[in-house]
Structure 1
């Protein structure tokens, strides 16, 4: 048996329930993993609220780290006793232990702590695809990154610095802006006090940025388009402020033949080999000290509802983990 967080209905944090569930044995292509820590992400709140649909009842949680207890037939990249971490579907990471598909579970090198492994996989693999698998970016390019003091944002700030990419961030409040700048943002704009679109244009000499990486959604989408250089790429990868409303596609042409994509991490990591390659790059940056995980909030698994409330109230910085 393992304590597991489930929802039987969609709604606010109050629908989260901690129950005891039988774990069972792994079948072909599966593993059983006992978690040391679980990651908290905005996608978890989308699933809990019903924005992203699940068949109910369903367990929640998309990333965790721990020790492999058993492997099923055909699993060759992991063995019992291995340290491992993952971001993967189906949801179910908010648990002491679980049986799950093995393909997206990755070996976790010994120098990387379990809490770091739990905090970095979904966020870090997201940053990997934003910088390496979405649009060509290289040294000297400038990008705009919203919510630069969040868990994904602080990894992105460091990632950009490690690759010579100029990152302009936005965040809510001077303290959060300083945090982003300390982690590698060239400058971070307080969107509460500044006309951030004009500031971005000033900082780029009126040229705009090569790409906008926007996990905020409705509140920032239109302004983000106005920050792009001609032929620039708008990457809308999240909905923290709500989903982007419908808009006229001709707007992209009028604003400079812009490009728009709405990527999902789980498309990028669906292929086993690609997932392992992306994870190896992420773990290499962490092991080399180019990316350091900042875990500013820790909640016991039983207090998962409080963790969701803090995240949705934008009271968190860096990453948040649930301890098991």
Structure 2
């Protein structure tokens, strides 16, 4: 299989940070070599995430420039290095989380890859990895949600939002989801939200306090950031947890930590990679995620598959909140 690997490939790189204009689709990028402990994966589908836009704009600093964006993909192992490969071999269909996914081929540390079970259809693994694992670790570790808990999920019809709503429904929580349109409200309700607040014409604080009898919610999962942080803090219950895990509207500005003391609120800014930093953690949560999928408890919604050459359109659609569910790239196009 290794003999059929080309010398160059299609990939999207950035040489500087900025807007959509910095995205460069190239056809002559060298295919990376593998070293000990690595596998070379021919990527079939690559996930698009808000974190990709953060690296593109410079909100998160890239480790080097030029830089190939993308943090997750599914594909086939076409070459292996030596050393510990965690049982992976050529021909295996794998899911991986690392760097350099906006490309036809990626050299990945085997510790960051795992074989995809037979029962998981094409596209589903790439559409599930970062968003699904983010949602799963949030409800298991950032704030362990129990049956009957009242929880608020911002952007409940978005990529991670839909995952959170479905997982919370499986747990048996009372989930209030915020959305911006009737279509998104219907989607979130179908996914398992107990109540919906359409923030385009409803007051989120008033509605949440009304639904919870004035107590507020024990946990807020806020991937929006700047525009929702204040209301999240206002509606979290005494001894509750505000989990701020994204910056879709921009980063949360500096604030006085003393604001947390009025209700003894816990505030977290977690990172998925810090929850799956060890091989044991990675395997545990990926296998639990695959279990939800193969058990039929999760509907993995895919918004669309974009050619890699149209990556700018994918970023524009994601940033413009024109999507519900997961955006994927086809690296071969």
Q: Do the aligned residues in 2 keep the contact of 1:209 with 1:229 (CA within 8 Å)?
A: yes
- 1:193 has 2:182 as partner: no
Q: Provide the C-alpha distance between the structure 2 equivalents of 1:60 and 1:25, rounded to a whole number of angstroms.
A: 18
Aligned counterpart, 1:28: 36
Q: Provide the C-alpha distance between the structure 2 equivalents of 1:145 and 1:24, rounded to a whole number of angstroms.
A: 40
Q: Do the aligned residues in 2 keep the contact of 1:171 with 1:188 (CA within 8 Å)?
A: yes
Secondary structure at the aligned position of 1:133 is classed as helix
Secondary structure at the aligned position of 1:257 is classed as coil
Q: Provide the C-alpha distance between the structure 1 equivalents of 2:110 and 2:225, rounded to a whole number of angstroms.
A: 32
Note the C-alpha offset of 1:60.
0.1
Secondary structure at the aligned position of 1:113 is classed as coil
Q: Do the aligned residues in 1 keep the contact of 2:11 with 2:103 (CA within 8 Å)?
A: yes
Q: Provide the C-alpha distance between the structure 1 equivalents of 2:204 and 2:22, rounded to a whole number of angstroms.
A: 37
Q: Do the aligned residues in 1 keep the contact of 2:86 with 2:111 (CA within 8 Å)?
A: no
Note the C-alpha offset of 1:171.
1.2
- 1:75 has 2:82 as partner: no
Aligned counterpart, 1:179: 187
Q: Do the aligned residues in 2 keep the contact of 1:104 with 1:270 (CA within 8 Å)?
A: no
Aligned counterpart, 2:307: 300
Note the C-alpha offset of 1:309.
0.7
Q: Provide the C-alpha distance between the structure 2 equivalents of 1:85 and 1:60, rounded to a whole number of angstroms.
A: 17
Aligned counterpart, 1:270: 277
Q: Provide the C-alpha distance between the structure 1 equivalents of 2:105 and 2:269, rounded to a whole number of angstroms.
A: 32
Aligned counterpart, 2:254: 246
How many residues get paired? 321
Note the C-alpha offset of 1:165.
1.5
Aligned counterpart, 1:212: 220
Note the C-alpha offset of 1:26.
1.6
Q: Provide the C-alpha distance between the structure 2 equivalents of 1:25 and 1:59, rounded to a whole number of angstroms.
A: 15
Q: Provide the C-alpha distance between the structure 1 equivalents of 2:173 and 2:36, rounded to a whole number of angstroms.
A: 43
Moved more, 242-251 or 289-298: 289-298
Q: Do the aligned residues in 2 keep the contact of 1:86 with 1:122 (CA within 8 Å)?
A: no
TM (norm. structure 1) is 0.97
Q: Provide the C-alpha distance between the structure 1 equivalents of 2:124 and 2:79, rounded to a whole number of angstroms.
A: 23
Moved more, 43-52 or 104-113: 104-113
Aligned counterpart, 1:11: 18
Name the Cα RMSD after superposition: 1.0
Note the C-alpha offset of 1:276.
0.9
Q: Provide the C-alpha distance between the structure 2 equivalents of 1:170 and 1:23, rounded to a whole number of angstroms.
A: 43
Q: 1:56 aligns with which of 45, 58, 65?
A: 65
The runs of at least 4 aligned residues of structure 1 exceeding 4 Å deviation read none
